[in-house]
Structure 1
Amino acid sequence: MTGNVVSRRYAKALFAIGAAKGEAEQAKYGEQLVALGQSMTDVPEAMGFFRNPSFSAEEKKAVLNQLVEKMSVDPMVKNFCDLLADKGRVEILPAIASDYKAMMDAVSGVVTGELITVGELSDERKSAIQSNLEKQAGKKLELSFATDKDILGGIVLKVGDKVMDASLKAQLQILKENIKRGE
């Protein structure tokens, strides 16, 4: 919980700086943060290094600076990363990137969601479902698709903090509860 509060504060600070510089800069900061966060989470050893308290802030800063230089990010994002290293918060960079992206999505009216099915859907079906959901929501929808054999059939749609469970597993669970209650 504390990590979430801290990451939101850092994301909000950089978001405010980006807003003061303009929408294009704000979006660029977000893209670069997400890329940095993704590169850190893609390599579990890197996250282990940044979480390890036996390494000094200077050592972490040196490694982070190499990563930042390799990705050639904006000087403001580099300074932000240096601040995180100085404060011993480098390990929450992926969470900060996620919070920043959520703020950008909220400003631009983009909603993220996940659709879970039993089997893999074709690309045409995915795009048709996404366009129908976008029409219903009246907003742009970034939809990720996943499969889960445990739902037995149907779909589970998660959009924001809402979940629509139209799976066979959920229907059977409701039926089971009704039978237990004698309905």
Structure 2
Amino acid sequence: MSGNIVARRYAKALFAVGMKQGDAELEAYGKQLAGLAGALAESPEALRFFKNPVFSVEEKKAVLKQITDALGLTQTMVNFASLLADKNRLVSLPEIAEDFGAMLDEKNGIVSGKLVTAVALSDTRKVELKERLEKQTGKKLVLGFDTNAEILGGVVLQIGDSVLDASLRAQLNILKETIKRGE
């Protein structure tokens, strides 16, 4: 989740509306919000336009209407985006979408993580590791893989807010500190 308190509040409000309407609507809101945030992210000039205080709220709403019509958003999402325009919060839309997605993942028991290794892993090994981690956590895992030669060996695993650093570099640093202390 992003550190933007305002974005989190708007995401919570939309999430609460979606929860009252059911899981199907909640999922639809998540997809539409992500689509709208993606459209704005792909168009930096649109974000600059929405940030610019020279343009009135009505002008911003007119441009927003063109974007929402092109994306085919539901009336609830159009109303939500219009509210953001009224409150001059359209620039927070990417953070709102990120927070909403995190809330949706939490509700669905999905945890995102990242596994860093010193060398690239084969696809079969990635699948095997992901399945083993899902079994250990008891949750569905969206796992990203990365390589970093600086860890020398082993793995660095981040799942949610937890980090497990089982890299060779970390072990060598622990050994170095132990030797320095004279233990």
- TM-score of the superposition, structure 1-length normalised? 0.89
Contact 1:61 1:82 in 2 (8 A): yes
Deviations 1:41-78 (A, max 9, x none): 23444333333334433333333222222111111111
107-116 vs 2-11, greater mean Cα deviation:
2-11
Residue 7 of structure 1: how far off its partner (Å): 1.0
> For the residues of structure 1 that align with 2:45 and 2:119, how far apart are their CA atoms?
33
Amino acid at match of 2:171: Q
Query: Runs of 4 or more off by more than 4 Å in structure 1?
Result: none
State the shift of 1:164 in Å: 0.6
How many Å apart are 1:84 and its aligned residue?
0.5
Listed as ranges, the gaps of 5+ residues in structure 2 are none
1:149–1:44 CA distance, 2 compared to 1 (3 A): farther
2:113 is matched by which residue type in structure 1? G
Higher alpha-carbon deviation: 131-140 or 112-121: 112-121
Runs of 5+ in structure 1 lacking a partner?
none
Q: Judge conservation of contact 1:151–1:168 (CA < 8 Å) in 2.
A: yes
1:164 maps to which residue? Answer: 164
1:28-177, aligned counterparts within 5 Å?
Answer: 28-177=28-177
Conserved? CA contact 1:3–1:92, under 8 Å: no
TM-score (norm 2): 0.89
Alpha-carbon deviation of 1:3? 6.0
Distance 1:45 1:164 in 2: 40
Shift of 1:154: 1.9
Aligned residues with identical type, % of pairs: 55
Matched length: 182
Q: What CA distance in whole angstroms lies between the structure 1 residues aligned with 2:64 and 2:154? A: 45
Cα distance in structure 1, aligned partners of 2:58 and 2:157: 44
Moved more, 43-52 or 62-71: 43-52
Deviates more, 1:148-157 or 1:53-62: 53-62
Distance 2:152 2:37 in 1: 35
Q: Which amino acid aligns with 1:80?
A: F
Query: How far off is 1:83 after superposition?
Result: 0.6
